[in-house]
Structure 1
Amino acid sequence: MKNYLFLLLLLLLSGLSSPLSADPRRDFATQYRPGRRILVDTRREGDSIRVYLRFPDRNLLRRGFPLHVVGWAGYDARRPLWQDTVRQLRRRLQPEGPGARVDFCLPISRLRAGLVLSLAIGPAEEAVSGDAAWLPLTAEHLSRSFILTDSLSQPLMRRYVHAREVFGVNAYGPDQRLTAYRYPLSSVPAAPPMAAAGALGPQPRRLSAQDSAQFRADELLRLPAGLYLLRVGGSPVRAGLLVEENRFPELITADELIAPLTYLTTSQERKQLFDALEPKKAVDQFWLKVAGNNQPIARQLIRTYYGRVAEASQLFSAHKAGWLTDRGLLYLVLGPPESVYRANEEERWVYRSYTERSGTFLFRPKPSTFTPDNYELVRRPEYEQLWYAAVEQWRKGRTAQPGR
């Protein structure tokens, strides 16, 4: 009897320590919900990588649970390569408004480029879901020895600032020099999803820097608008930074309100808005006309569309404003993807709620010097009917109606 109890206990313990497993078709749609998305950044510190996490809402944190860190061979891997926990979180968590931030170190010996990390506070199963924080490790993550910070030296956790916003570069190691190379901003919007390759126009293979400047890595900075590459010391590792005018990603001026209408309007309509004596009033009249002179519907259309513009810029800004990118294009017109699946370096956005606008869109990674996390839409002619049906919903004011 004693031997039987000992064997049973051994089996129970082995079950508790068995590796996590998961359905490889996990849904990553939460990564495109700004209010639920966990932000991640990293900095190389000697033989370690410091990982920074920002949780948007402290109410989402599960008290009493450790932080689970899981290493995967890819997004679609069924079983992890390794798993670990970070305990004593109460002492590590730093409140930030409604959210919280935590940082910790991982030994570089456990990491390599191509590995994907998932991180979550809660039961171990949450770390394998698409709701966790997911970080695909690139050569930049493993080598970059600095992070961007705000004016209070707290991690910025984004790759954009607005012109004249005060920020800093926190580098690991003493007496570091920062070089900032400035490039022209792009205002070219993404082409429709059914556009042929030739319709995209010639794409420049390489941008030329307009100028450069040097600073101490520990001083606070204000930079004029532009696209920047930042380099600390003599390291070849560079990181992109987008500096936009006004209060980006908020929309302030008439031009900023008119430009995103490129996905819903003709060039002649936009010219009339730009040339109006009072362009902001002209924009209001545009939406009021779309809403059939129904002011509540017009206000809802404005909140929805420009809310998506700001969210797309938060999510996708890198080498240009997020709403100008391929993912921003779909986000504005179709809304956040209902499901997102990742496999074999591809990302699929699925829309299924409305028959006339249901479809699956395929993105493939197209890394650039300015961002390792850039995706390009695979354009197909069969998207034409779906696309025009979605635009028509906007043009008839139906997108803002209940259930739409």
Structure 2
Amino acid sequence: MRTLLHCLLLNTLLFLTGGLQPLAADPRRDFAGQYQPQRRILAETRREGDSLRIYLRFPDGSVLQRGNPLRVAAWASFEAKRPVWRQELRQLANRTRLDKSAAWVEFCVAAASLQPGQVLSMACAPPDEADASEAAWLPITKERLGRTFLVTDSVGDPLLRRYVRLNEPFMLDCYGPERPLVAKRYDSGFNAALPPMANPAAQPVSRTLPARDSVFFRAGQRLLLPQAGLYMLRVDGAPSGYGLLVTDPDFPELTTADELIQPLIYLTTSAERKKLYDAPEPKRAVDQFWLRVAGDNQGVARQLIRTYYGRVTAANQLFTAHKPGWMTDRGMLYVALGAPDAVYRTAAEERWVYRDADGSNGTYTFRPKPSTFAPEHYELVRRPEYEMLWYAAVEQWRKGLTARSGR
């Protein structure tokens, strides 16, 4: 349960803005399941001639052993009511490879049956569950339809993320002849997201990133990037590049004192963070910060730390591209407010809904702003009326109430 103050502030604000609405069954498809990292079905693709090969990783491989076919459907958009086409793939044993408790499935779809702007849904589930948000939902883009290489880990499995760790070996698996590759490193000094009520004019403007250096690789060579930063991989002859962030070895988790202090930007003042950085033992100072927040209750402090940095890790898994996921707009809300209760998508926007026990909703709108480095990047539509909601959420953290509420 959230604090009474937060509920009063939320109700007052939503009443003033016309946003107080009773909970009701919503006819739209809810994509909130896509923001549960441990349950999400991950997908990657590679163009192979006149086909698009699709790789799926099911975190729970047992779903493939329940007698349901893999149901694949193409939709004109996220909000479409009926698919453009639908097909069922049976005899999955020939397409499945187990990976501990998870399982990989791969199959091909005729490229001619897909158009940029469409969305594929894929699930191994009964017919009435196949189109739910727990399915894998894959936007079809021009880049995806044209990319003939796959970024894999060192054993050849699709990487399924836009980052590699420092000195982590990976490979590019090209369809057809192997091609040489150049990896250019760019400045990656991006800032954490501004609060949701910040003036949009104060947002950092887009800029051209200067390349710092380049690494050249032979065709088929195992890749190893020895310096952290933002890279653009360009395969010889490919129509577009592929953005990849090289992170610290423990990413997406945070372990060093500096890493633990940085996400506190959403809860603290610059003076407070400077005091933490300048402390003789910064890591111990971080522990003391959370202990003070918890009113010297060690159990509550441990829960606060688990919750906050657990959300940071999840945001890194979900949203990392040109910068760590916790620094993005969606990552900011994920860390401060938790996973959204409902997510509604269209081609033009994504809406996150947070619901209170009294039946009121707080809604945040994101709009896509893709780039080569971050093809699935979204920016928050900032509004002054979010100020009361934001500070109420920060207050919950600062008073140690988030751990007690379980939110």
Q: CA deviation at 1:403?
A: 4.2
Q: CA deviation at 1:357?
A: 9.1
Equivalent in 127, 130, 153 of residue 150 of structure 1: 153
Alignment-mate amino acid for residue 48 of structure 2: E
Q: Distance in 1 between matches of 2:182 and 2:139?
A: 26
| Superposition map of 1:5-404 within 5 A | 25-61=28-64, 63-201=66-204, 203-223=205-225, 224-353=227-356, 358-404=361-407
DSSP-derived class of the 1:127 partner: coil
Residues 320-366 of structure 1: per-residue CA shift (max 9 Å, x gap) = 10000000000000000010001242100000135699510000100
Residues 258-282 of structure 1: per-residue CA shift (max 9 Å, x gap) = 0000000000000000000000000
Q: Distance in 2 between matches of 1:267 and 1:122?
A: 49
**Under a length normalisation based on structure 2, what TM-score does the superposition of the two structures give?**
0.91
Q: Distance in 2 between matches of 1:355 and 1:97?
A: 43
Instruction: Decide whether the 8 Å contact of 1:70 with 1:127 is kept in 2.
Output: no
Q: CA deviation at 1:62?
A: 5.4
Q: Distance in 2 between matches of 1:85 and 1:149?
A: 27
Q: Distance in 1 between matches of 2:362 and 2:239?
A: 42
Q: 1:285 to 1:355 in 2, by over 3 A?
A: farther
Q: 1:337 to 1:62 in 2, by over 3 A?
A: farther
DSSP-derived class of the 1:269 partner: helix
Q: Distance in 2 between matches of 1:62 and 1:349?
A: 33
Q: Distance in 2 between matches of 1:369 and 1:24?
A: 34
Alignment-mate amino acid for residue 213 of structure 2: D
Instruction: Decide whether the 8 Å contact of 2:146 with 2:239 is kept in 1.
Output: no
Instruction: Decide whether the 8 Å contact of 1:171 with 1:217 is kept in 2.
Output: no
Q: Distance in 1 between matches of 2:346 and 2:86?
A: 21
Mark the runs of 5 or more structure 1 residues left unpaired by the alignment: 1-22
Q: CA deviation at 1:124?
A: 2.4
Moved over 4 A (4+): 354-358
Q: CA deviation at 1:382?
A: 0.5
Q: Distance in 1 between matches of 2:65 and 2:308?
A: 34
Q: Equivalent residue for 1:17?
A: none
Return the index of the structure with the highest Cα Rg. 1
CA RMSD of aligned residues (A): 1.6
Instruction: Decide whether the 8 Å contact of 2:64 with 2:92 is kept in 1.
Output: no
Q: Distance in 1 between matches of 2:357 and 2:333?
A: 15
Q: Name the % identity.
A: 60
Q: 1:220 to 1:249 in 2, by over 3 A?
A: same
Instruction: Decide whether the 8 Å contact of 1:357 with 1:386 is kept in 2.
Output: no
Instruction: Decide whether the 8 Å contact of 1:24 with 1:76 is kept in 2.
Output: no
Q: Distance in 1 between matches of 2:45 and 2:27?
A: 26
Q: CA deviation at 1:198?
A: 2.3
Q: 1:266 to 1:342 in 2, by over 3 A?
A: same
Q: Distance in 2 between matches of 1:81 and 1:62?
A: 28
Q: CA deviation at 1:241?
A: 0.6
Tell me the matched-pair count: 381
DSSP-derived class of the 1:30 partner: helix
Residues 341-395 of structure 1: per-residue CA shift (max 9 Å, x gap) = 0124210000013569951000010011212211010000010000000000000
Q: 1:403 to 1:305 in 2, by over 3 A?
A: closer
Q: Distance in 2 between matches of 1:332 and 1:147?
A: 31
Q: Distance in 2 between matches of 1:297 and 1:197?
A: 36
